Amino acid sequence: MSVLRIDCRFTAIVLLVVTFATAGTVRSQEKLLASYGGYNETMGPMWVGVDKGIFKKHGLDVSVLQVRNGQVSLTALMSGDVQILLPAISSVLSGVSGGAKIGCVASAFNKITRELVVKKDIESLAGLREKTLGVQSIGGGLWLQTMIVLDRIGVDPEKNGLKMRVIGDEPTILQALLASNIDGAVLTYASAAIAKRAGLRSLVNTSELRVPYQGVGLCTRSDRVAGSPDLVLRLVKGLVDSVGFIHEPRNKREVMDVLKKNLRLSSDQDAETAYNSLRISSTLDVAPNPEAWRHIQKLVSRVTPKVAQLDVSQIINGSFVKTLEETGYLPEARKKLGL
């Protein structure tokens, strides 16, 4: 009986230790809410990182929240309602020019993977004159990519009388285009595929354009970058691991399912299109790109002149990515993928 009592006590102690250890693990998971405005596959690394528990491996309990546009996200960040911002560079520049203190530490996107899709009666770029293109907001990510595409193909919106109409997020813009309420839009490949099946025309595929670009970034308040470097480093590690998961061929089905769920796609065909687009546009070269920032700065200054006065080196912080390069974390991630 005494042996039994000792065994029982030992078992109870073990269970108690395990319980406290588990509780400690749960408590060590720092809760972070990340907001975004764009509704497309550039949110793939965050969706995958959350869905597959990748951020939790780094002690971070991350949730994501879609809001109406980048300005709403920026306001939520500065008020403390969210801790992480996933913005287009244009939104960051506009916010900083207005006094916001923001630091951006990484971005997994350096390519635009979209198509300029128009109504079928527009047969060439010349046919864009006096037409209306749909965007989510003036100065936001979709507006920025639209301006970059137009700039690269030599179409000046002012000289050609092109109008930018604020419609809403991409699904809303797609519906407006299908209903002929607008004449065109720069759509992701998944949305462009739906539009083309409905008889609309693609004038430009951005994969054929070469332009300095950096897309949705990982940003937060400047005081958090300075005061919580370990947290920020773990966030960047989670981003790197999520991109690595996306690029691992054996994970294709899982990534497609995440995209299909979050983008509310109706078919595997559209999910695969989104998956392929995500793989083409995302990269493990996640360091902030000053050249791309300055190119975008010139475009944004057209609508927000104060942006031209900013020093982008005071906004971007490449030290976290540099640490991952020097410690071998990023080289090892590339090695796993054969890069």
Could you give all domains of the chain from N- to C-terminal order, each with its CATH number? 29-108+213-262+285-336 (3.40.190.10), 114-208 (3.40.190.10)
User: What pLDDT digit, counting tens, does each position of 271-286 carry?
Assistant: 999 999 999 999 999 9
Q: What is the spatial order of strands in the sheet that 84-86 belongs to? A: 60-66, 30-36, 84-86, 217-221, 102-107
Interior angle at CA 263, CA 74 and CA 167, nearest 5: 55
Q: Give one DSSP letter per residue of 83-142, joined into a string.
A: SEEE--HHHHHHHHHTT--EEEEEESB-S--EEEEE-TT--SGGGGTT-EEEESSTTSHH
pLDDT band at 47 (very low <50, low <70, confident <90, very high): very high
Q: What is the mean pLDDT of the chain?
A: 89
Which segment of 20-24, 67-71, 146-150, 243-247 scores lowest on mean pLDDT? 20-24
Residue 45 has a pLDDT of 96
CA–CA gap between residue 321 and residue 330 (Å, rounded): 8
pLDDT band at 28 (very low <50, low <70, confident <90, very high): low
Residue 12 has a pLDDT of 37
Residue 171, exposed/middle/buried by CB under 10 A (0-12, 13-18, 19+)? middle
Q: Give one DSSP letter per residue of 316-334, joined into a string.
A: B--HHHHHHHHTTHHHHHH
Backbone torsions φ then ψ of 185, nearest 5 degrees: -165, 155
User: What pLDDT digit, counting tens, does each position of 52-80 carry?
Assistant: 999 999 999 999 998 877 778 888 899 99
Mean predicted confidence (pLDDT) in 217-233 = 96
Q: Please determine, for residue 3, whether its predicted confidence score (pLDDT) is greater than 60.
A: no
pLDDT band at 320 (very low <50, low <70, confident <90, very high): very high
**In sequence order, what are the residues at sequence separation of 6 or more whose Cβ sits closer than 8 angstroms to the Cβ of residue 71?**
91, 94, 95, 137, 139, 140
Interior angle at CA 61, CA 57 and CA 62, nearest 5: 110
User: What pLDDT digit, counting tens, does each position of 162-218 carry?
Assistant: 999 999 989 999 999 999 999 999 999 989 999 999 999 999 998 778 877 898 889
Question: What is the model's pTM?
Answer: 0.82
Task: Check if the beta carbon of residue 170 is closer than 8 Å to that of residue 263.
Answer: no
Q: Please determine, for residue 140, whether its predicted confidence score (pLDDT) is greater than 90.
A: no
Q: What is the spatial order of strands in the sheet that 201-205 belongs to? A: 163-166, 132-135, 184-188, 114-118, 201-205
Chain mean position to CA 242? 12
Task: Check if the beta carbon of residue 47 is closer than 8 Å to that of residue 259.
Answer: yes
Interior angle at CA 296, CA 291 and CA 297, nearest 5: 95
Report which of residues 224 and 7 the model is more confident about: 224
CA–CA gap between residue 250 and residue 268 (Å, rounded): 17
Cα-Cα-Cα-Cα torsion 208, 286, 263, 245, nearest 10 degrees, comes to 110
Q: Please determine, for residue 23, whether its predicted confidence score (pLDDT) is greater than 70.
A: no
Compute the 3-state secondary structure of the chain and give helix, strand, coil in percent, each to the nearest 5: 55, 15, 30
Q: Please determine, for residue 16, whether its predicted confidence score (pLDDT) is greater than 60.
A: no
User: What pLDDT digit, counting tens, does each position of 155-164 carry?
Assistant: 999 999 999 9
Residue 32 has a pLDDT of 96
Residue 216 has a pLDDT of 85
CA distances from 55 to 27, 76, 147, 170, 302 (A): 15, 22, 34, 27, 38
Q: Dig out the tokens for 172 from the structure.
A: 């809303």
Q: Dig out the tokens for 218 from the structure.
A: 């990982």
How many contiguous H segments (helices) and E segments (strands) does the chain have?
14, 10
